[in-house]
A and B are shown apart, each in its own frame.
Chain A
Amino acid sequence: MSKIDPLALAGAKSKGKRPYFLETDIERLTNIVLVLAQELAVVRERTDTLERLLEQSGVLTRQEIETFTPTKQQADERGAWTQEYLARVFRVLQQEREALHTQEASSEEVADELAKV
């Protein structure tokens, strides 16, 4: 194994105090979103390569992809995937909504309570 760990070192900080132009939390989030945008472009380009190679080798044409119409069952399966996906992404809002209707103690408060003799 190499002594150099790319996972730890690829994103190393450059020497020099970092400037922030926006509220720091917003700028941190902007940096995260930029990388997600990059990775989306990477996936998009890979899909494009795949489609072109499949077309070249006569497996399918991109026109077939453009005009693809799912059957009822296929559409339902895809719709279900999208529902599950959105539920995962917006979990925090779901839980925020559930919390509207409850009066609950925090774990810290419960800890205090359970520690009482």
Chain B
Amino acid sequence: MSSLVSDKPKAEPSRAYDGPPDYRVVGQHGMYPQLSHDEISRFNFLAHMNRHLSTQIMPGVKEAFDARVEPKFVAANGRGFKDRHEVRKALLKDSLFQWWSALRRATMETRQQAGRWVTLRQADQLNAKAKALTEHDQRLKLNPDLPLPRYVEAIDHHCMPGSYHTELTDGDVTGPCNYDIGIFATTGGMLGRYNDGGGQAIAAWVKETLPDLKPKRILDIGAGLGHNVLPIAQAFPDAEVVAIDVGAPMLRYGLARAKTMGVDNISFVQGDVSDLSDLADESFDMIHSCMFLHETSYASMPKIFAETHRLLKPGGIVFHVEQPQYTPEMPFFEQAMRDWDAFYNNEPFWTKMHEVDLDSWMVSAGFARDKLMHSGVAAVVDPDVFPQAAKDTKQEDYGRKAAWHVVGAVK
């Protein structure tokens, strides 16, 4: 048989590889589920699918908009678009937008199924592991009587069945575990080994912006499973960090996960961040949220801002990390594309949240206008392994790019 073996050197690849890394680069903390070869392959496929949709198909939506959607609207109405909603409604009639949307939604649902299969088939083991790690640990403070805010109860955010709060059985952590293991697929690996590219970016930004800040107490509101607060807790190891979320499974999983990663200075507390009356006035040096405000509501946001003002010590800093606001400079097309997740990926408040004047809301909550801060950050990842959002000019995955705006204030 050896005569069949070619002596020729292996052919060079026909083009430089620029896709997502293999799923196996994802960090395996102690709460990670067991994943089979085929389950990993599913996540690989889904990461590629999302990347393909954003780099190969979505640019066609803009081309179709320029070539036919906008001209058709202008011809029919004798004027241009007056807002992003008109653009979206016109796009909905275009076949390329329809196909991109159908595939994007299908990919999200398929990703949920892939991750849920992994966690549900080993639910008992995962839940037992979380129980062993969190039982009798004072850092987990659950409140089973907490009423669920309407913005969580009404709809399952980003098509995640059961959202942040559902427990299929006592002590269930399969929901957050599914969330954790699938972020790689949804973002095409843009958030790094521990899905903490956002938190890493915040930690670096704080250290750079306020080099003298030595916070003793830090509050993370809407912490979820804590993937973004961990880098901050690690950046300030002497600080006492409080991570608040409404979902008990997230907090339970979050504490267990943090412990297996050797991060021990975070308490995970169940609470509704529009009313944190259990926490004392002026008891925190730093308060932040990361990609959280867009999952709340118009009614709760002023209360959240007021609570952050009340809880912050004089001289303390508050900031919120979000996708960019819809300013008058942002074209209606971009605004409409950014609204996709609001209407078609169960993020209903996304659209309204991005049009409000956050500065005015901060001022109304008591912050001085001249103490407001604005900045931009991009995910900090290991560039040898992961794609870097800051350097990625090929993809603008409207609303999902791993680069954000920061709005904040010093009290």
Interface residues, chain A, with chain B CB atoms under 8 Å away: 2-6, 9-16, 18-22, 27, 30-31, 34-35, 37-38, 41-42, 45-46, 49, 61, 63-64, 67
Contact = CB atoms under 8 A, between A and B. Distances in A.
A34 B106 contact: yes
Nearest to A26: B102
Nearest to A1: B124
B41 A46 contact: yes
A103 B242 CA distance: 76
Interface of B: 1, 4-6, 37-38, 41-42, 44-46, 48-49, 92, 97-99, 101-103, 105-107, 109-110, 112-114, 116-117, 120-121, 123-124, 154-156, 159-163, 168-169, 174, 343-344, 346
B1 A19 contact: no
Nearest to A9: B120
A5 B169 CA distance: 12
Contact of A46 (B38, B105, B113, B154): B38
A38 B102 contact: no
Given A9-B120, A21-B105, 18 more contacts: A2-B123, A3-B169, A6-B116, A6-B121, A11-B113, A11-B116, A12-B162, A14-B109, A14-B346, A15-B156, A16-B154, A19-B344, A21-B101, A22-B102, A34-B107, A38-B110, A46-B38, A64-B4
Given A2-B124, A6-B121, A16 B44 contact: no
A27 B46 CA distance: 18
B168 A9 contact: yes
- B-side binding surface: helix, strand, loop or mixed? helix
A45 B103 contact: no
Contacts of B110: 31, 34-35, 38
A30 B53 CA distance: 15
B38 A38 contact: no
B57 to A, nearest CB: 13
A6 B120 CA distance: 5
Contact of A49 (B37, B48, B102, B156): B37
Contacts of A13: 161
Given A21-B102, A63-B4, A14 B169 contact: no
Given A4-B169, A21-B92, A45 B41 contact: yes
Nearest to A23: B98
Contact of B102 (A5, A27, A42): A27
A22 B102 CA distance: 7
Contacts of A4: 120, 123-124, 168-169, 174
12 contacts: A4-B123, A6-B120, A10-B113, A10-B120, A11-B116, A13-B161, A15-B156, A22-B102, A38-B45, A38-B49, A42-B38, A63-B5
Given A41-B45, A63-B4, A16 B99 contact: no
B394 to A, nearest CB: 22
Contacts of B174: 4
Contacts of A63: 4-6
A38 B155 contact: no
Given A6-B116, A34-B107, A63-B5, A16 B38 contact: no
Nearest to A64: B4
Contact of A15 (B101, B109, B155): B155
A12 B163 CA distance: 12
A2 B174 CA distance: 13
A18 B161 CA distance: 13
A61 B5 contact: yes
B87 to A, nearest CB: 16
Given A19-B344, A21-B92, A31 B106 contact: yes
A52 to B, nearest CB: 12
B349 to A, nearest CB: 13
Contacts of B113: 10-11
Contacts of B103: 30, 34
Contacts of A15: 154-156, 161, 163, 346
A64 B2 CA distance: 9
Nearest to A14: B156
Nearest to B172: A4
A49 B116 CA distance: 25
B8 to A, nearest CB: 9
Task: Give the one of A3, A16, A37 with max B CB within 10 A.
Answer: A16
A9 B4 CA distance: 50
Contacts of A5: 120
